[in-house]
Every structure is written in C-alpha cells, then in structure tokens.
Amino acid sequence: MFRILRGSAIVFIVSILVLIPIRGHAAPILRLGDTGQAVITLQQMLAQTGFSPGPVDGYFGPRTLAALKSFQSTYGLVPDGICGPLTWAALERASEVSRNLGRLRGITIVLDAGHGGKEPGAISPWGDKEKDFTLPITLKTREYLERYGARVILTRYGDYSPGWDWWQPVDELLARVSLANSNAADIFVSIHCNAYPKDPAVSGVMAFYRAGSAESARLAWNLAGPVARTSGLELLGVQEGPYYVLNHTYMPAVLMELGFMTNWHDVSLLRQNWFQDALAQGIVRGILSYFGR
Ligand SMILES: [Zn+2]
C-alpha cells in the first residue's frame, strides 16, 4: 500500500514539474507537423518576442521550426526545435518582458490588407495585382508592430477573401470591420494601392479618414508624413474617404493608398522587397507618433 502511494506521489510530483502551466493551461510538447490551439499560442509568443514564425495559423511548419530554433539558441537552450517545458518557460518569461517593455504594449491594432482571393483590386497595365502588394506590406508592418509589443490582428493572412472560411461565411467587407469591432481594436489601418488610369503620370501616397472623426483625421495625418518620408513618394493628400471599412468601424480608422498601380515608377518600386519594407516602417513610425510612444 505504502509503495503504491509513494509511486503515485512520484507520478504526481513529476506531473507538476512537466506540466508547467502556460497562461493557465498545461503546455503540451510541440514539434514539427503539430497543429492546433497550442501551436497558435507558441506562434504568438514567438512573434511577441521578435522571432517571426510566419502566419499565426496553428500549423507547426518549417517557418515555425526555424523561428523556434533561433529562439532556443538565443536563450541558451538546446536548439532542437521541440517546444518542451524549458522552452515554454523561457518563452513565457521572454514574452512577458517584451510585453512590459514594448512601446505599444496594451494596444490592439487591426491591419487590413486590401482585397484578396477573387478580388485582385487594381491591376497595373503590366499585370501586377494590388492584392499582391497590400499583403506583404501588411505582414511586414505586423512584424514591426509586434516587436513593439502591440497585439496585431490581420483581416487576412494570405490570398483569400476575409470571411469566406467563417462558420457562416460573410461578405468580405463585413468580415473586415467585424474583426476590428469584436476585438475592440484601438485603431484600424487599411492598406491599399491607388489607381488613376486617366493620368498614368500621377504618383504618390494618400491617406483617407472617416468623415467627421477628428481622431481618425489625426491618425491619418500621423501616418501620412512618415510613410511619404520613408518611401520617398510624394504626399498627395490627407482627406475624408467614403469607404465602408472607415464608416463601419468603431475606432479611429484610416485607409492608406500607397502608390499608384497606374504609374510605372510606383509599380516598379512596389515590386521591391526593400520598398515594401520602407512603407511598413513608415506606417509603424506613424502609429508610434499617433500614440505618442
Ligand atoms: Zn484597393
């Protein structure tokens, strides 16, 4: 009897040691190929600590593996790419630190990559699709914002129409604003590229804000300047815009038009990784200045 009790006591103690709670739940051991909610938690924590795992999609794929290994070696762990108790504990500590130090801690930002899926947006005379520019700019912006400790929600993470995969599929515009409203986002930033077929010489950036919202106007002005500076594009205007995503969101909302799909100079730049990055950095600087951080 005593031996049985002692045996179960050891099992009990071992269980406590192994199951270090992560955010109130026991943390499972995760490896390449795993899927599910725990993988999403892992990906969020990696992103939070500056190790980009690719899309936060609940799939432990090669990008999550690479991010995890690089996290492990940075934090003096065995870089075996397996997320066990020691790695969970280190992630918890590291993401706690970055949450507490980040200049955008406690702030929720919804980034809305324009178009997607069957909706290409504007198409350039050379065949480029607007949706293929808005997504990488949005993903790069997210990466910087998460490094500053912000909670970032995207309306789409790939080339699809937001809302199509919902339990009850909804219209893409409704999906975009619902995500922002239901997550009580602090700001909403929609990312687009402009088109003006009448005059292919027109180039530059514009920022649109919700009519009658002083806070949206302030957000637009804060973003427009830095975006023009980091991209080197001319600032054509900051003005009210009659757009659905601006009129149906409850928080300060802005729609950025980053370059013209009808202008060869802008399109040739939009195709470049460094230029997409410059636009993302401009947006992030603008957000930091809007929040006074
Ligand atoms: Zn657009």
Pairwise CA distance, residues 226 & 238, whole Å: 13
Q: How far is the CA of 54 from the centre of ligand 1 (A)?
A: 24
Contact 249, 180 (CB under 8 A): yes
- Does residue 21 have a pLDDT over 50? no
**Residues, Cβ < 5 Å to ion ligand 1:** 114, 121, 192
Query: Beta strand pairing status for 187-194 and 108-113?
Result: parallel
Q: How far is the CA of 9 from the centre of ligand 1 (A)?
A: 62
108-290 matches 8-101 in CATH topology: no
Q: How far is the CA of 246 from the centre of ligand 1 (A)?
A: 13
Q: What is the pTM of this model?
A: 0.70
The better pLDDT of the pair 193, 75 is held by 193
Contact 259, 203 (CB under 8 A): yes
Q: How far is the CA of 72 from the centre of ligand 1 (A)?
A: 40
Q: How far is the CA of 285 from the centre of ligand 1 (A)?
A: 22
In CATH, the architecture of 108-290 is 3-Layer(aba) Sandwich (3.40)
Q: How far is the CA of 132 from the centre of ligand 1 (A)?
A: 11
- Does residue 2 have a pLDDT over 60? no
Pairwise CA distance, residues 264 & 2, whole Å: 82
Q: What are phi and psi of 112, to 5 degrees?
A: -115, 100
pLDDT of residue 147: 86
Average pLDDT score over residue span 87-107: 82
pLDDT tens-digit profile of 190-240? 999 999 999 999 999 999 999 999 999 999 999 999 999 999 999 999 999
Domain limits of the chain? 8-101, 108-290
Q: How far is the CA of 115 from the centre of ligand 1 (A)?
A: 6
**Whose CA is closest to 111, among 192, 221, 47?**
192
Sequence-ordered alpha helix ranges (H) in 102-148: 130-147
Contact 279, 258 (CB under 8 A): yes
Please state which of the ranges 51-55, 93-97, 273-277 shows the lowest mean pLDDT. 93-97
- Does residue 108 have a pLDDT over 50? yes
Pairwise CA distance, residues 269 & 250, whole Å: 34
> Which CATH topology does 8-101 take?
Muramoyl-pentapeptide Carboxypeptidase; domain 1 (1.10.101)
Confidence label for 49 from pLDDT (cuts 50, 70 and 90): confident
Q: How far is the CA of 194 from the centre of ligand 1 (A)?
A: 6
Q: How far is the CA of 248 from the centre of ligand 1 (A)?
A: 17
